[in-house]
Structure 1
Amino acid sequence: MGPRARPALLLLMFLRTAVPQGRQLQPLPSDTLVIGVISGIAVCVIILFIGALFRILRKRQASREAMGDYVLAECD
């Protein structure tokens, strides 16, 4: 057996054990693909929502600090 025959023989042995007799490998069901796409979109929406929430909270904090500066200026 030559050096090129060994990988081919191993591949044939693998395919024989991986694929049951008379059956072909089946692709993923479409339901699994749909669930994967929906969950990916949900993760993106959640990340965008959290980013918008942090932005809003940061603006509120900045406006509170500015309001405190005005109150201190009037007290002087």
Structure 2
Amino acid sequence: METINFTPLGFSDLTSDEAFVVSVFRHWQSCGSTCKEAEGSLTEMLKNDRLHEGLLSLFDLLERFRTRIGGEQKTTVPF
């Protein structure tokens, strides 16, 4: 799929829920050296957030992404 078909978006173009997912992904990438460390940090940090209950689904999605690129160590993926 060519990215030329996509409309360029900035962070300000995102809904609050979309911005939340992007922010969680960025934190997940940068926090801790393993997925479990990052997920523990996010779970604690967002324990009072309205979207806290959706974290398990988001972690499942990130786990699938991680296993696709391989390994327990998180990597920075260029987008």
Structures share a fold, TM > 0.5? no
In our comparison, the structure showing a higher alpha carbon Rg is 1
Name the structure where helix makes up a greater proportion of residues: 1
* TM value normalised by structure 2: 0.24
Higher relative contact order (CA 8 A, sep 6+): 2
* TM value normalised by structure 1: 0.25
